[in-house]
Amino acid sequence: MTHRNAPLTVLGRERAVDQVIRKGRPIAHVAAEFHIARATLSK
């Protein structure tokens, strides 16, 4: 369970990572679409 101020749920993080790893999209583009920092998605 995530706290109410968390920008992404577990499913949201999975979707973001899927965009980068499986679809080969740039981290910066995916991070912008999900409204999170590039550094956050890089973790």
Q: What is the pLDDT of residue 2?
A: 64
Q: What is the pLDDT of residue 24?
A: 97
- pTM to 2 decimal places: 0.80
User: Domain coordinates of the chain in residue numbers?
Assistant: 10-42
pLDDT in tens, 18-39: 999 999 999 999 999 998 999 9
- 16, 6 Cβ separation under 8 angstroms: no
Check residues 1 and 23 and name the one with the higher pLDDT.
23
Q: How far apart are CA 24 and CA 19, in angstroms?
A: 7
pLDDT in tens, 3-22: 777 778 888 899 999 999 99
